[in-house]
Structure 1
Amino acid sequence: MSKRYPPMVREKAVRLALERLDEYGSPYAVAQAIAPLVDVHYETLRIWIKKALAEGAQPGKQAATSGLSPAARDELQKLRRENRDLKQTNEILKLASAFFARELDPRHP
């Protein structure tokens, strides 16, 4: 049975994936990385990405930063990348702590 995702979840997942598509190189790789973060199955996300690309979405494009100097734009891009990486690290740590908490629980068989 398929799971239906709200349109807002789909838009957010596809936007995040398209922003990082250049880093991962393929829709499959980026779907594998982003899907757990947005609680979507990776194959579903891969299909959404391919559909968005077929409809003309541009990978790696972020919101327009008009009015910024090139140095400020570079700094903003660097900070966004760092923020994204830190969020991903936090998600990994949350999953690891939940795993170890479950393993250390005396009620756990």
Structure 2
Amino acid sequence: MNQKYSPEMRERALRMLDEAKPDHPNLMTAVRHVAGLLGMSAETLRVWHRRREVDAGQRPGVPSDVAEENARLRRAVAELRRANEILKAFLSSTAPGRRSAPAENTVPCPRQHDDEDPLASARSNAVSRPSMISGLRVPRFGALELHDGD
């Protein structure tokens, strides 16, 4: 929402509109009069007036607090859907029976004490549960592999 006007300005404009309504034949002439006095768009003031009526229950519509909560919930749902897609991609890439040999572009991470552990070299080249985020596979045991997207 555009915050060109402060909440105090909004309240003042609506208060002035309420005071000016009895002096004018209809709402729009009062809106144009008050908007002209304040140097704002008549449409802005009309929308504020309508929103206030909806929030007060005088006019049918969705109140502001409900609309804000709906927008927050829609953003949360979209974020959860994105997270689910990432998890689905990860789980499909780690399906049982889908083990591949390290690709040619696999770079083993250096180990400090390879001579102490006889299985260290086998572990550093293992491709185990790769992450599919951003096209980069990061196996569990230290090898780094660039992924083309199979």
What TM-score comes out, normalization by structure 2 length? 0.33
The structure, 1 or 2, with the larger RCO (C-alpha pairs under 8 Å, 6+ apart) is 1
Q: Which has the larger strand fraction?
A: 2
Q: Which has the larger helix fraction?
A: 1
Structure 1 or 2, whichever has the larger Rg, is 2
What TM-score comes out, normalization by structure 1 length? 0.44
